[in-house]
């Protein structure tokens, strides 16, 4: 599936440090490096109500990671999915009287245009779940053969087939994953989150109430595909596992997404992947915080959404939206208000005026040798690199530029290029 347009990311003279990233599983800062090539899997949208500011904050966070890797001379292989068949999408389509395929296609197109407007680097592989049903069903068959999948009696399937579930206990006995490895949550919390986030802990016949659905047998009125495990459709977590491990070497460097995905989605995505490959799923599990609006977490279920497309349709500069998001550390929870955008717009005006007032060209030849004038350290560039490499500390990076402006330091070509390359804010 096509992704979206690649933004121009300029090269900055020299190289920055390999970024350090907070690992949810260990609570530690760890070097996000994989011997010169880093792999990244970020969970994509379920395409309805796209793209709200919470989405944008997550994808901008890991866009910043990609930019930091590139600046450090690290190659990047990046995969993202779109969950274009799932219960919430089907429910929205039914409620609005729109065919679920049309809803998914239109919202995916809107997401692409929003990512383009925000200057988010696209993934190397942008994969729709409906394009890889055979891959997923084959993986479910592998789990059955490994003894980490089992049937649960199903009375209402079209063909008399049963649903298939993941055996968490068996997976822990036979591989490098165990329940709680990523989230570190206690069982009561897991059960509560499972009820809130699409699980079915009360379903009879499951070996463990937390065991997640792998394959849903076909029901009347629901989309279904033929497969060797019976006609049906994938569960939520297995899709990301398969899309990731079939395109990236195990273990991947970073599995990423919003913090609301830690459990159950990321926990079980990692479990499925490890049960298939016999390897840990990822070196680092990284998560972005939640964005609130009107006192509640911004969410599609609540409907308290600020959409990127609505802001840009009002004439808001996408760079202001980026700055508004970058002003909050990616791991923090925070609230969007009208003042958020006012402050970001004022900052963009200061920055563009600063860049325009500087004499000389703001173009820089990153390939030029050090003796051609790029050998002198640039304190703004160095400070920007240090901030971004320190767990993507973009608020500190913004403060670097603000301090340079307040001190009347001229905007050097290298500094303006670094702001573009690392923060995605083009000032020239």
User: The whole model's pTM is what?
Assistant: 0.94
Is the distance from CB of 228 to CB of 137 less than 8 angstroms?
A: yes
**What pLDDT was estimated at residue 190?**
98
Q: Which residues contact 303 (CB under 8 A, 6 or more apart)?
A: none
Cα torsion at 81, 82, 85, 91 (round to 10°)?
140
Structure tokens, 377: 């350290």
pLDDT digits (tens, 9 = 90+) for 385-413: 999 999 999 999 999 999 999 999 999 99
Helix (H) or strand (E) holding 120: none
Q: Count CB neighbours of 374 within 10 A.
A: 18
Taking the C-alpha atoms of residue 308 and residue 328, their distance in angstroms, rounded to an integer, is: 17
Q: What is the pLDDT of residue 361?
A: 44
The torsion of the CA quartet 218, 220, 222, 224, rounded to 10 degrees, works out to: 30
Q: Residue 125, Cα to own-chain centre: how many angstroms?
A: 13
CA distance 363 to 52: 34
Which residues are paired to 164 by β-bridges?
151, 215
Query: What's residue 375's pLDDT?
Result: 55
Q: Which of 306, 347, 305, 355 is nearest to 327 (CA)?
A: 347
Show the tokens assigned to 156. Answer: 């209402």
Q: SS3 of 35, please? A: coil
Answer yes or no: are the C-beta atoms of 74 and 37 closer than 8 Å. Answer: yes
Could you give the residue ranges of the DSSP H alpha helices within 9-124? 53-71, 87-96, 100-118
Number of residues that this document lists for the chain? 428
Coil, strand or helix: which one is 39? strand
SS3 call for 252: strand
State the pLDDT at residue 374.
Answer: 47
Distance CA 314, CA 54 (A): 19
Query: What is the DSSP pairing of strand 213-217 with strand 232-234?
Result: antiparallel
Residues of the chain with pLDDT under 70: 34, 359-375
Residue 329 and residue 355: Cα distance in Å, rounded? 25
CB atoms within 10 A of CB 340: 22
Beta bridge partners of 128: 82
Q: How much is the pLDDT for 366?
A: 43
For the chain, the structural domain boundaries read: 316-423
In contact, 240 and 264? CB cutoff 8 Å: no
Tell me the C-alpha distance between 163 and 218, whole Å: 9
pLDDT at 34: 67
């Amino acid at each position: 599936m096509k992704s979206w347009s690649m933004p121009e990311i300029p090269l900055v003279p020299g190289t920055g440090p390999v970024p350090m990233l907070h690992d949810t599983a260990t609570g530690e800062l760890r070097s996000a490096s994989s011997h010169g090539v880093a792999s990244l899997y970020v969970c994509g949208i379920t395409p309805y109500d796209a793209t709200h500011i919470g989405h944008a904050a997550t994808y901008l966070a890991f866009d910043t990671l990609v930019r930091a890797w590139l600046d450090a001379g690290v190659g990047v292989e990046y995969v993202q999915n779109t969950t274009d068949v799932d219960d919430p999408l089907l429910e929205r389509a039914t409620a609005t009287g729109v065919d679920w395929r049309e809803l998914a296609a239109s919202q995916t197109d809107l997401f692409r245009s929003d990512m383009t407007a925000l200057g988010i680097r696209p993934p190397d592989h942008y994969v729709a779940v409906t394009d890889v049903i055979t891959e997923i069903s084959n993986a479910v068959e592998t789990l059955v053969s490994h003894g980490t999948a089992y049937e649960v009696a199903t009375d209402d399937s079209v063909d008399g087939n049963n649903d298939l579930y993941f055996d968490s206990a068996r997976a822990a006995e036979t591989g490098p994953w165990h329940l709680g490895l990523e989230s570190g949550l206690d069982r009561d919390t897991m059960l509560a989150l499972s009820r809130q986030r699409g699980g079915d802990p009360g379903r009879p016949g499951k070996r463990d109430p937390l065991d997640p659905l792998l394959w849903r047998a076909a029901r009347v009125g629901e989309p279904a595909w033929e497969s060797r495990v019976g006609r049906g459709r994938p569960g939520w977590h297995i899709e990301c596992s398969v899309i990731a491990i079939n395109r990236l070497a195990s273990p991947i460097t970073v599995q990423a997404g919003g913090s609301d995905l830690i459990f159950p989605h990321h926990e079980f995505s990692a479990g499925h992947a490890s049960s298939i490959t016999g390897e840990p799923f990822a070196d680092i599990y990284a998560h972005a915080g939640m964005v609130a609006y009107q006192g509640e977490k911004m969410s599609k279920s609540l409907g308290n959404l600020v959409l990127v497309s609505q802001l840009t349709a009002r004439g808001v500069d996408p760079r202001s939206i980026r700055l508004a998001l970058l002003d909050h550390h990616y791991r923090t929870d925070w609230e969007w208000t009208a003042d958020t955008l006012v402050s970001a717009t004022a900052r963009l005006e200061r920055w563009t005026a600063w860049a325009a007032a500087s004499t000389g060209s703001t173009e820089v030849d990153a390939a030029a040798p050090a003796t051609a004038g790029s050998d002198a350290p640039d304190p703004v560039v160095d400070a920007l690199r240090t901030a971004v490499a320190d767990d993507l500390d973009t608020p500190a990076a913004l403060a670097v530029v603000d301090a340079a402006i307040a001190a009347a330091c001229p905007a050097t070509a290298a500094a303006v290029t670094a702001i573009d390359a690392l923060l995605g804010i083009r000032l020239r």
